[in-house]
Structure 1
């Protein structure tokens, strides 16, 4: 019986870890295109800062 208990403990641990990951995971209703648009605006802002800033050390 103790051998079966040693097999039961990891099984229960794996099942509970899976339930915890499923419940506490990131929500799936994120809008990908909003994130892409936000990234494009950030990249454009960085490009504007690079062209507007004077070169240092040259």
Structure 2
């Protein structure tokens, strides 16, 4: 049974909506990953400074 033009446009619209939701979710995940990476880098800098301070105190 052939699909009429309106039904086809409706199905395409639903697929586009799902694709947009997936793209938005992926973008949010990407931003979250970079935020955590920034936090890890800051923690590493603090740890390096603490290690340097302990090293100086032990000399």
Q: TM-score, normalised by structure 2?
A: 0.43
Higher helix proportion (structure 1 or 2): 2
Q: TM-score, normalised by structure 1?
A: 0.43
